[in-house]
Amino acid sequence: MRNLIGGRRAAVGVAGAAVLLLSLAACGEKENSGGAGAGPSVTATADSDLAAKVPDAIKADGKIVVGSDTSYAPAEFLDNDGKTAIGFDIELFTAVAAKLGLKAEFVSADFGAIITGVNSGKYEVGVSSFTINDERKTQANMVSYYQVGTQWATKKGNPAGVSIDNACGKKIAVQKDTVQVEDIEKRSKACTDAGKPAITIEQFPGQDAATAAVVSGKDDAMLADYPVGVYAVTQSEGQLELLDKMYEAAPYGYVVAKDQTAFAEAVRDATKALIADGTYKTILDKWKVGDGAITDPAINP
């Protein structure tokens, strides 16, 4: 779950992490050809009534410009060519756009700048595993479409003996600007309040780098959204394993500008239509993330 409130390794560590990062990315690319998410993209049929709900200023060019941080597999990440966005988030919103009679044009963006970009008009929608929370609902219209919690992962066999409820003194990797940052900071404070060593928290700009830090053994564990953790373990070829179970499930939301209520309603209704006609389930099942499915999309739930 990504939240918005608004050091590289040295010597051999840098090189090792870079190789691991490339290796993990390569695994993800091969997986797209023969595993989760394999096969052609699922298509959706335009609905003229829904298309009529899209404001003229947005549909005039026939597309929806979407800001997305494409480092968060299997939700949104880059294909073999290094520039084409793929993932279940990408396919779902592509289907939403198609239902509205439009194409989705994905632009890779820094996660922390997407909401600002939507409200400034740089992007028309933000699609990047955004967790809906009270702060975010004051910044934009959030259209719910999925629900997921946090999952931890560690090296196979958990050699550092990490416990979710007592990670004091451990080194934990996390992507910056996510809800997991606040989560791990609270856990670290609980450690120091109890007179125990603080958690060493390493924040990375992308989840791929956080995963690589755990694979390399530099960090003892990581925490991320459930589908991200599961995907990372799958792609690690036995080097990682899940730690305990997912917790604190919350909804993901598409980001629509605060002054674009009519457009948010169109996006919500298109998502409902995809659920009704089965396209929604087909996409989630294709990416093996159906456990996060919802039945009633809403604006600012």
Across 247-274, b (16+ Cβ under 10 Å) vs e yields eeebbbbbbbbeebeebbbbbbbbbbbb
Asked if residue 220 has pLDDT above 60, the reply is yes
Any idea which residue has 């990682």 for tokens?
Answer: 240
Asked if residue 295 has pLDDT above 50, the reply is yes
Q: What is the pTM of this model?
A: 0.73
Q: Is 39 left (phi over 0), alpha (psi -120 to 50) or beta?
A: left
| Distance separating alpha carbons of residues 229 and 249, to the nearest angstrom | 14
pLDDT at 178: 87
The tokens for 136 are 């975010």
Asked if residue 218 has pLDDT above 80, the reply is yes
Question: Binning pLDDT at 50, 70 and 90, where does residue 141 land?
Answer: very high
pLDDT at 266: 98
pLDDT at 73: 87
Average per-residue pLDDT in the chain?
A: 87
List domains and CATH numbers for the chain. Answer: 48-148+250-299 (3.40.190.10), 150-248 (3.40.190.10)
- pLDDT tens column, 196-212: 999 999 999 988 899 99
Question: Binning pLDDT at 50, 70 and 90, where does residue 257 land?
Answer: very high
Question: Binning pLDDT at 50, 70 and 90, where does residue 28 land?
Answer: very low
- pLDDT tens column, 55-99: 999 999 999 999 999 988 899 999 999 989 999 999 999 999 999
What share of the chain in percent tops pLDDT 70? 87
pLDDT at 8: 16
Asked if residue 35 has pLDDT above 80, the reply is no
